Structures are given as structure tokens and as C-alpha cells.
Amino acid sequence: MAEQMNFGETEGARDRPLHEASPTFVTGGLVAGCAAPENEAVSVYRGLPFAAPPIGELRWRPPQPPKPWSGVRDATSFLSSAPQPPGGVISMFGTRDGATIDEDCLYLNVWSPARSTADALPVMVWIHGGGFRVGAADNPMYNAVNVAATGVVVVALNYRLNVLGCLAHPALSAESGHGASGNYALMDQIAALRWVRDNIQQFGGDPGCVTIFGESAGSRSVSLLMAAPQARGLFHRGICQSGALRDVSNSLAEREAMGLEIAAKLGCDKGSDPVAELRAKSWEELHDAIAFNSNPFVDGWVMPEDPCDLYARGDVAKVPLIIGINADEATMLDWLERDNFNTVAKYREIVNRDLGAHTAAIFDAYPATEDADAIGAMTALRTDQRMTLPARQQARWLCDAGLPVYFYFFTRVPPWHAGETMGAHHGAEIAYEFGGGVRCGQFDMNAVLSETDQVLSNSIMAYWTAFAATGDPNSAASPVWPRYERSEEGYMELGDQIRPGLGLRRSTLDMLEGLPAVGV
């Protein structure tokens, strides 16, 4: 644990932002931040190392403590994000033009409104999305200055992605000392949470009041950290946005087989030390070798069992959770596949192929009588199968374990181009929760907001920060959000109207339960 050294705690300094005080001591040495350019009352510290660079011999090893430095480290600029490919439909979640990517990427950023290290403010730790393939803590969407200004300390972290974040191989498992490999992305997130535990008091945060929150892959990370024994005690609430448990039940053997395939493809399977040969390859060579499954999996160490089984028997962190989805998730997720189901005939053919005897019920629930309806019907079905149903199941498991759960349904069609074409799409809520305006993918403090957008943004920030402080999203600022219970399945709609509801799509989800997912 970092020694607690309270610099700048003179009586006069207590009325000034932390960045105006003396440098801050964290694990590794002294750091100096700056004022957030959008709000000088908020201090921002960028590019803080929470682990040693995972390069060379540290590639595909658990994160190690950051290397100490001498003097005062400048923490006013964002540093490298994890290596990742450009482009693609989820590129909005990735790096921006001109951003640096490098394997030396294990950095986090802190926004704090504190005036003293003794302020003990709630802490919110953001885990970015991007399918475990792309993403960066410094994406402009995640500028947390407006959230921090409400009275919380916000941390945004990087983690390893793609083959660097999840490669398993028998030789890596053998050298690990615990018989497992892969899941380095989750190990990085756990290391960052340990850093928060040890250092966040220096930024005026309370290490005993930490909320982890994330969207998409970040949300699935929250779901998995709830089940990971190594993460227990490092956080006290969770918020899952569009990412319940799914695609995380592969075995170590399955993923080691993929590692062997990569090694063979790159000619790293002939010598006596395939790991050394793989470590000598560039990240681009590794990434391009095969179509890689970047999802976390059951490695027997970080994730000791199938997380679905752990949830089903209540063997998870005993913390309250917010979980929810957006109304039109699949419009973005299946955007590149839409020509496969853009007519009634194509839509019906896919459903008949995958769901057989259940097709009549499916067509009743998701009707398409004209070609213009086909894409909407399929994306509604895929949204429910891939997002709504897993989120409901996760909420039910936690409810059965006696844990407080709050469910939301985001329905606002945002006034930007993606909203016009994809509705309340995957990731649409992010601009609202960060109070960053309505320019999807770009923080804009001066955006012109409609009254509807402003009220919704303020309400979501109020719900999220109240939950971070107390474990209950309710406050005097917004309509009452009912706790989720199996009997009534209460939820909060976050949209043009902010209102509670009961039994979100219950009969339709009941019909879908147990059916195979429709492919496109």
C-alpha cells in the first residue's frame, strides 16, 4: 500500500483544488495533475501507471507493480492505449485519430473535485467497452469532469485487449505457477482496483466506497468481477450497462487450442520455447494470425468456474447492482449484417432455420409483414436474446441471492446521426451519464441540449452518483426507482419520460427462455 502522505494540507490549501496543492504521492512516486480545462474546480490526473509495462518478458503475465520513478511525474497528458485495430462498427468506442497505442498501456486517469485528501468522496471506476477488442480510457466520451463535479472521484482505466489481453497456451499455463493462462484483461482490471484501494484517498476518495461501472465489454467485466474471487472486497457497488453474462463460458482447454493454432500459424510451434517465440512477434502479427476470440473465459484461476454457475448459486460479491439495456442494442451490433435480413423472406428463413417449431410464436412477437419491417423485427429479436434476456437472468440470480438490484431500460433516441439510423442504440446512454452533451463519440461541454436531453442527463447522473454514495439510486432529484424483485420485476425507463414500470417484456422473454440464439 502506498504510504499516506498528505501534501498540501495547510489550512489555506483546503479551499483549493488538489492539483493546486503539493504533488500527490502514489504507488511509485510523486505525481502532479492539473485543472480540468472544462472546469477548474475539478482536478485531473492523467496517465497514472497502475502496473509495470506488460512488455517483453511481462507480455502474457499477470500485471506487476509499477516501476518507481524519481522526482515528480507529470500527470497532465493521456498516455498510450492498448494496441487495437482501427475501424469497424464499434470504432466509436476505440481510440481517436492521433492517439498513441502501445503495449505499454496500463494507465488510468482520475478526476477529483476534492479539496482535501480527507474528503472521503464516493469513488466510481469506469471500465470501457469495445468487445475486449478496442477501447481506451481517454476516449472523449468518457471525460468525467461533469460527473466528478457532482461530488464523486472518477477513475477510468485501460486494460490489455485482443490477443494481448486473452491469449491462452499450454506453455503459458505451465509457466504461470497456477496452471492457467489468459484473462489478462481481467487481471489488469483487478490490479487497477487494487491501485484504487491503495491510492484513491490521496485524491480525496473513499477506498471503502468504490463503484465499478462499465458499458458493453466494460459491463461484462463488471459482471465477471462480481464472480471473481480475486476481486472480492475491492469494490462495493456495480453498474452494468448493456453487458450481462454472455460468451464467457469457454474452457481453458478450448482457449489453449486457439493459442496453439496461433502459434502454428506464426511458425512458433517448432522450437523448444514457443512462448519466447510468440513474445518476439509484433502485436500486429499476433492480431492478424486468426479470427481471435477476445472474450474472457473459465481459466480455473481468475475465473475458477463458469460464472453462470457461480451466479446461480449466489457465489458472487455481496454488493448492490444496477443493470440494464438500451431499447435498440442490436441495431449497432448487427449493422454490418443487416443485408442478411433486410427482407421478410430472409428474416423468416433465418428464424425457421434456427428456431424450428417456435417460429409461429417468434413471428407473432416480432412481426414483419413488409420488407421495410424485416430489419426492425430481427434486431428487436436479437436485442432481446443477446441483451434483455441475459440481463433479466442476471438480475434474477442476484435477487435470489438477496442482493439489491435495480433494472433500467434506456429508450431515448438521441438527436445525432446514429440515433436517426439506429434508434436507442448500443452505447447511446454514455453521453447522458457523463453529462457530455449529445455529440456521440465526442465530449462537448457547450453542446446545445434540448430540455428532454438535459433532464435525462441530469437524472442519470443523479441516479448513478446516488447509487455510488449509498447503494440506492434514489434521491430527491429524480422519480423513485423501484427495486427489482422477481414478483413484479420493477424497472426504470430512462427516455423521453423517466418513469417506473413493471415486468419489462415479461411474456416475450419467457417465450425466448431456453431457445437458441438466432444467427445472422
C-alpha cell belonging to residue 63: 500485471
d(CA 383, CA 389): 9
252: CB partners within 8 A, 6+ apart: 168, 173, 180, 181, 182, 297, 298, 299, 300
Annotated catalytic residue 216: yes
Sheet with 498-502, edge to edge strand ranges: 34-36, 39-49, 107-112, 153-157, 121-127, 205-215, 237-241, 321-326, 405-410, 490-494, 498-502
Residue 383: its H or E element: helix 371-383
Are the CB atoms for 240 and 219 separated by under 8 Å?
yes
Rg of the chain over CA atoms, in angstroms? 23
d(CA 154, CA 43): 11
Are the CB atoms for 81 and 158 separated by under 8 Å?
yes
- Residue 11: other Cβ atoms inside 10 A: 6
- Considering 216, 221, 294, 478, which one is annotated as catalytic? 216
* Residue (of 1, 356, 491, 59) closest to 200 by Cα position: 1
| Partners of 501 in beta bridges | 491
Determine phi and psi for 42, rounding to 5 degrees: -105, 130
Tell me the HSE value of 229 on the side-chain side, using a 13 A CA sphere.
Answer: 11
CA dist 363 → 287, 306, 349, 350, 366 (Å): 40, 33, 12, 12, 5
User: Using CA of residue 11, residue 16, residue 20, residue 25, what is the dihedral sign?
Assistant: positive
d(CA 294, CA 244): 16
319: CB partners within 8 A, 6+ apart: 226, 235, 236, 237, 238, 403, 471
Annotated catalytic residue 513: no
Annotated catalytic residue 19: no
d(CA 480, CA 310): 31
Q: Is 226 left (phi over 0), alpha (psi -120 to 50) or beta?
A: alpha
Q: Give me the amino acid identity at 112.
A: S
The three-state secondary structure class of 36 is strand
- Considering 103, 215, 329, 429, which one is annotated as catalytic? 329
- Considering 103, 294, 426, 457, which one is annotated as catalytic? 426
Are the CB atoms for 192 and 50 separated by under 8 Å?
yes
DSSP label of 429: T
The three-state secondary structure class of 162 is helix
d(CA 407, CA 392): 8
| Residues taking part in catalysis | 216, 329, 426
